[in-house]
Chains A and B, each alone.
Chain A
Amino acid sequence: MRLNIIFSLIIIGVLPALTGCAKSTERKPHSGPRIVSTDPSATQILLQIGAAKTIVGVSPWDKPLLPKSMRHLPVVGGYLNLDEELVLQLSPTALILQQSPQRIAPGIISMTRQNGIRLVNIRINTFHELFTTARTLGSISGCQKQAAAAITRLKSELSILAQSRPQKPPRVVYIISTRPIMVVGADNFMDQEINLAGGINVAERCGDGFPTITRETLARLNPQVLLISKPGERATSGPSDPRLQPWLKLPVAAAVHHRVDLITSPQAQMLTLKVYRLIRRLRTIIFAAPNAGGGR
C-alpha cells in the first residue's frame, strides 16, 4: 500500500517534469500578455478580437474548435482537473475560468495569487454578459480597441435582427441533448437566440436554464419547428437522415410538416462575438419552407 503511494508520487512528480522539459525549449521571453484559457467561449472570443497570439494554454474542449495553426497549444485541463504545474510552466499573466465564484478550488486561487497570475472568472449566460466578458478579455489581452469594435458590430447586427423580426413567429423547441431530452428553457442565451431568430421558445414554460422533459411534454408543447443541437456532427442529409427519424414520429406539428432540423455548428451551444451568423442560420431554418405539405 505504502509502496503504491510512493510509486504514484514518483509518477505524478516525474510526468509533468518530462513534459516540462519538452516545453521549456519553446518558452518565450516574458513580453506582453500570456493567457491560459480553460473556457472554449473565452478562447473563441479572444480569437475573434485578434488576441490569438496571447493564448498560451487551452482546455481539452478547445482542441477541436481551434484553427489548425493553434492545435499544438498545450492542454492544461478543465476547471475540474487543472494541471497547475503545467500552468506555472507556461508562466501566464492571466488564467480564465468560467465557474461560480464560491466553487473555484482554493488551490487555484492561492496558486494564481502567489505567482502573480490574474485569475479571470467570466460568466457568459446572456448577451449582456457576453459584452462585459468581451471587454474584460480585451483589457487583459491588450486588444481593448478590437474588442470594443467587435461589440459595436455585434450590437448593430443584433438590432438589425430585432428590427427585421418576422410577424408570425412559429413555436420552437430547441433540444440540446437527446437522452434524456434536455431543451433550451428560459433565461439563457440560447433562448435569446431563438427569439432573435424570430421564433417563440415554447419550452420557456418548462423552467430556467436547460430543463429535462419527457416526450409527452414535448408533444404537449407541440412545436412547429423542432431544432436538435448536435455540435460537431455532420450536417443533415435531408429528411431521410437516420438521426431525424425518431423525432419525425412524434405527434407534433413539426414532425407532420417535416420541420425537424439538426444544428451541427460546433459552436451551437456557445455564445461568442460571432453569434450573428448562428442566429441567421437559425432564422433560415425556422422560416424555411416545410419539406412536405403546405405552410409558409
Chain B
Amino acid sequence: MHIHSRQSDLPSDAPPGGLVLEATHLTFQYAGGKTAVDDVTVPFYAGELAMIVGPNGSGKSTLLQLLLGHLTPSGGTITVHEQNITDLHPLQRAALLSYVPQSPQVSFAYSVQEIVAMGLWAHQRREPGLSVLKADQPMLDRMVQAMWDLDIHALAQRTYDELSAGERQRVAIARALVQDTPIMLLDEPTAALDVWHQLELLDHLKALARDRKKAIIWVTHDLNHARTNANRVLIMHEGKLAAHGQADQVLTAEILEPIYRVHVTLRNDHLLFSRFPGH
C-alpha cells in the first residue's frame, strides 16, 4: 500500500505569520521497541489552526507530546522559535507551549481556581520581583477571563473531584489559556464536551489564532470537524505523516480510504463513512 505524500503542495494561502514550531525527521521509539513516530517532518505557523487526525495508535498523541518536549525524540529535532526544544529549560518551554491532555489528571482535591492559577507558574517564576505566592493584577484578570471563557467561573471554589468529565476538561483548557503561550497543543480537547461547549471552544480558539496569531495544534478524531474548521490538516498513519495540507485537499476518499479502511463519500460538503462490502 502506497500512500501518496502531499508535502510538496504546501498551502498556497498559508496563514500570515512566521514559522513557530518545526519537526525535522522526528522519530520516537518506545522502550519496547515500537516505533510510534517515524521520520515526521512538519512545520507549524503562527496564526493557524492545525488539526492532526489519524486512526487509533497512529502516533497522534505521541507526536503531540514530542512537540511539547515532554518525550525525548529518538531521532530528529524539534525547533521552537528557532531554538532546539531540548536546549530550553522547562520554564522557558512553558512560556512557549501549553498543553491540554486527553484526560487531565489531578492527584489531590484542588479547587478549580487553584488549578487554573497553576497555569501562571512559569510566568511567576520567570518575571523577577513577582512573588511566587501572589499573582499580580493582570494575571488575575487573565485568570478570571479564562474561567469566563470556558464557562467555569461558577465552579471556581469547587474541588476537582466533584467535577464532571467535561468540566474537568474545561478546567484543563482554562489552565492552558492562562499560560497564554504562542503555541497551544490540545489532545482531543472536545472529547467530553457537549455541543454548545464544543462550539464555544472552537470559536474561542479560532479567535485566538486569528487575532492573537497563536499557533493551535489540535488532535481530533472528527474528520468533518477538521474539514470544516482547520486551516491545515495532518494525517498520521502508522507513525508516519501520511499527508498534510489544506483540508479539502487531504481529506479525500483517495487518501482516507486506505488509512481508515472504510468507504468514504463526500455529500453536501460532508464526509460520509461506510464499511466496505464484504468486511
CB–CB under 8 A between A and B in the complex?
Answer: no
Chain B interface residues (CB < 8 Å from chain A): none
